[in-house]
Amino acid sequence: MCGIVGYVGDQPALDVVRQGLRRLEYRGYDSAGVAVLGPTELAIERRAGKLANLDAALADNSLPGTLGIGHTRWATHGAPTDRNAHPHTDCSGRLAIVHNGTIENFAELRDELEHRGHELTSDTDTEAVAHLIEEQYDATGADLAKAVRNVCNALEGSFVLVVAHQDQPDLVIGARRNLPLVVGLGDGENFLASDVTAFIAHTRRARALDQDQVVELRRGGVRVTDLDGNEISGEEFHVDWDTAAAEKAGYEYFMLKEIEEQPEAVKETIGGRLAPDGRLRLDELAISDEDIRGFHQAVIVACGSAYHSGMIGKYAIERWTRIPTQVEIASEFRYRDPVVDRDTLVIAISQSGETADTLEALRHARQQGAWVMAVTNTVGSSVARESDAAFYTRGGPEIAVASTKAVMTQIAAMYLVGLHLAQVRGTRDADEVRSHYRDLAEIPALIESTLTRMDGVRKLAREISTAERVLFLGRHVGYPMALEGALKLKELAYISAEGMPAGEIKHGPIALIEQGTPVVVLATRHALSPKLVTNVQEIKARGARTIVIATDGDESVTPYADHLIRVPDTKSLLSPLLTLVPMQVFAAEFAMARGLDVDQPRNLAKSVTVE
Ligand code: F6R
């Protein structure tokens, strides 16, 4: 949702900013713009639509200058038009601002500004901020950083602001509340961006800004303060991702590349976790054994696909530790006044680490005294920084909006967390923990093997790509994966897809089945297999076209499968790491057969930073 870039250095700013915006495209946007401080003026170009429209507008104007800011906008206040695209300016046109987030008190601020004689020309909340900074810039005697700090104190809502001023040729100001802003630290140049992918081509040294902090970015260095102007020291971190990881490498879509990257990603997540003494070691999980032994319950909060990973986490934690575990959609959690206390372990799962619903849920949990663990892919993210401990999934950047390798690595991470809790609480002995870990360590090769079998899945997806409804059924860990399969198809192919527990279908949803309705059944081998076979028979008898994902060598369901998709055998609890693959490939191919862009599905944003 919205991408922001700021740059000051000695390179042509337009190139750096445009490249950064391109890398942030995956976040979802509907207009884009840049401002570059040239020798005589602060030049601005902005256009509705994709970056190509902005590029076309800039074709004859290269906006010379080495300081610039840029923005991709996901419209909230006002339609996605040229006029509402960022940057916005003040009355003088000497100040330019880009903004992510929403200013909740903007209507009253706007009224006051108009009353004081400012002329606002867009429908956005952002423009009001530009004019407020204009007033403060004058009031503070041209102290841009102080002006921004003063304005931030008057704003309600969430924001990242990046500001440039014609009279300040060596200064870009950034400020944040509730949304991410990362500083890229270079040599004689510095960067600001919504996430590190925007600047990793230039530097891998970064520093994340915390809540209500303002950064002054100059060629020679950066200075961070709180909103009262007190200087704040902060930690720098190194970004492991390289530019290749954020590029398509010959694939038509990032999503296809990310599906193929899964064996490697899972290897990274689980690798090197056994200490020489044979015990599982999750070093980064700074949580004492005493705390772990004291937990009476666990609550997992997450959204969308991450919620499905959480559901698998619940099965693993309860099976291995017997700690009662609930999984809750983060956006619902705090509003029902949940019962969490000092003996509750709250696990917040988030690929981006910036999902507003998940952040609010973990903040609420911490206020109640709960101990919060983040499971996230993003070092330096808000979810990581606001938790008591962070466990990183190490999946590398995920650019496609629809989550694939992130879900896979989240599930793998949840198995590790479950095993670690079991080891410390002694609910599984060392041999058992080791044996489960070894099963997990075999998974990357099994995913690899599954990926080699996908031709039939692609052919099938193309064949039935005109279907307007697909159902997904599973039992036990197959149920969350049925939800995930349906979500992938919904978001990519824009059709109605529903995942449900196979045992539940006879309580209502079976009425949806008519002649030829495609139904994907996750029927890998486990204790409930005979019951699943019965469920498949029930739906087949009613005309469903059955697409069955089954374990190699298991013939129990073969007579009732119109299409069989085979995955290798593994422990049933771990089977989601294999069944995910055909469902991802199925959804992507189904959507591509309908001519859709699987990297940037309509209406969606990669990082959902509003509640
Ligand atoms: C689905 C998808 C979303 C995310 C959800 C949470 O493919 O990508 O459902 O899983 O928005 O995002 P994170 O994990 O960044 O908190």
- Ligand 1 centroid vs 189 CA: distance in angstroms? 33
**Ligand 1 site, residue 331, Cβ cutoff 6 A:** no
Answer whether residue 323 shows pLDDT above 80. Answer: yes
| Average pLDDT value for residue range 296-308 | 98
Decide: helix, strand or coil at residue 605. coil
What pLDDT is recorded for position 313? Answer: 98
Each residue of 22-57: pLDDT tens digit? 989 877 788 999 999 998 899 999 999 989 999 999
* Position with higher pLDDT, 284 vs 455: 455
Cβ 7 vs Cβ 191: under 8 Å:
yes
Q: Note the pLDDT of residue 587.
A: 98
Closest atom, ligand 1, to C-alpha of 402: 7
Confidence of residue 119 (pLDDT cuts 50, 70, 90): very high
Q: Pick 210 or 610 by higher pLDDT.
A: 210
Point out which residues pair with 327 in neighbouring strands. Answer: 300
The finding on whether 377 has its CB within 6 A of some atom of ligand 1 is: no
pLDDT value of position 272? 87
Cβ–ligand 1 contact at 309 (below 6 Å): no
Average pLDDT over residues 343-357: 96
In the chain, the N- to C-terminal Cα span, in Å, equals: 12
Across the range 569-579, mean pLDDT stands at 97
491-517 mean pLDDT: 95
Does residue 393 line the site of ligand 1, with CB under 6 A? no
Q: Kind and range of the H or E element at 445?
A: helix 430-451
Any ligand 1 atom below 6 A from CB of 609: no
Give 452-455 contacts, CB < 8 A, sequence gap 24+.
453/565, 453/566, 453/567, 454/581, 454/582, 454/585
* Whole-number pLDDT of residue 530: 87
pLDDT higher than threshold 90 for residue 540: yes
From 331, 347, 352, 489, the mutation candidate for ligand 1 (largest count of ligand atoms within 8 A of CB) is: 352
What pLDDT, on the 0 to 100 scale, is given for residue 117? 95
Output the CA 404–ligand 1 centroid distance in Å: 10
Q: What is the pLDDT of residue 284?
A: 80
d(CA 553, CA 224): 61
Provide the pLDDT confidence category of residue 578 given band limits of 50, 70 and 90: very high
Among this protein's residues, is 2 annotated catalytic?
Answer: yes
CA distance 190 to 67: 10
Position 15 pLDDT exceeds 90:
yes
Tell me the average pLDDT across 324-334: 96
Pick the more confident residue, 27 or 509. 509
The amino acid that residue 350 corresponds to is S
Residue 372 has pLDDT above 90, yes or no: yes
What per-residue string of b and e applies to 472-489 under the rule 16 or more CB within 10 Å gives b? bbbbbbbbbbbbbbbbbb
Q: Residue 608's pLDDT is what?
A: 82
Please indicate whether residue 606 is annotated as part of the active site: yes
Which amino acid, residue 590? F
Q: Specify the pLDDT at position 30.
A: 86
Answer yes or no: is the C-beta of 583 below 6 A from any ligand 1 atom.
no
Q: Is 402 in the pocket of ligand 1 (CB under 6 A)?
A: yes
Q: Does residue 303 line the site of ligand 1, with CB under 6 A?
A: yes
In the chain, what percentage of residues exceed pLDDT 70? Answer: 100
C-alpha–C-alpha distance, residues 472 and 308, integer Å:
14
Question: Which atom of ligand 1 lies closest to the CA of 406?
Answer: 14
Most confident of 107-121, 313-327, 383-397: 313-327
Sheet holding 563-567, edge to edge: 496-501, 469-474, 518-523, 545-551, 563-567
* Residue 608 CA, ligand 1 centroid: distance in Å: 8
Catalytic residue among 314, 490, 540, 606: 606
Judge whether 317 and 325 are in contact, CB under 8 Å: yes
Residues β-bridged to residue 454: none
Q: Are 192 and 68 in contact (CB under 8 A)?
A: no
Cα–Cα distances in angstroms (integers) from residue 611 to residues 148, 157, 192, 327, in the given order: 25, 11, 24, 19
β-strand 563-567 against 237-238: which pairing, if any? Answer: unpaired
What pLDDT does residue 379 have? Answer: 86
Pairing of strands 371-376, 389-392: parallel
Answer whether residue 395 shows pLDDT above 80.
Answer: yes
The pLDDT of residue 277 is 87
Pocket test for ligand 1, best of 258, 301, 305, 580 (most atoms within 8 A of CB): 305
Give residue 571's pLDDT: 96
Does residue 514 surpass a pLDDT of 90?
yes
Q: What is the pTM of this model?
A: 0.85
381 close to ligand 1 (CB < 6 Angstrom): no
In this predicted structure, the answer to whether residue 78 has a pLDDT above a threshold of 90 is no
> Measured between alpha carbons, how far is 521 from 535 in angstroms, rounded to an integer?
9
Relative to the CA of 355, which ligand 1 atom is closest?
16
How many percent of the chain have pLDDT more than 90?
A: 84
Bigger pLDDT: 242 or 582?
Answer: 582
Please choose, from the candidates 518, 500, 517, the residue with its C-alpha nearest in 3D space to the C-alpha of residue 508.
500
pLDDT of residue 90 exceeding 90 = yes
Radius of gyration of the chain (CA): 25
Asked whether 139 and 114 are in contact (CB, 8 A), the reply is: no
The number of helix segments (H) and strand segments (E) in the chain equals: 18, 24
* Amino acid identity for residue 607 in this structure: S
Q: What is the DSSP string of 13-36?
A: HHHHHHHHHHHHGGG--SEEEEEE
Question: Residue 546 forms beta bridges with which residues?
Answer: 519
Mutate to test the pocket of ligand 1, among 27, 355, 358, 376 (most ligand atoms within 8 A of CB): 355
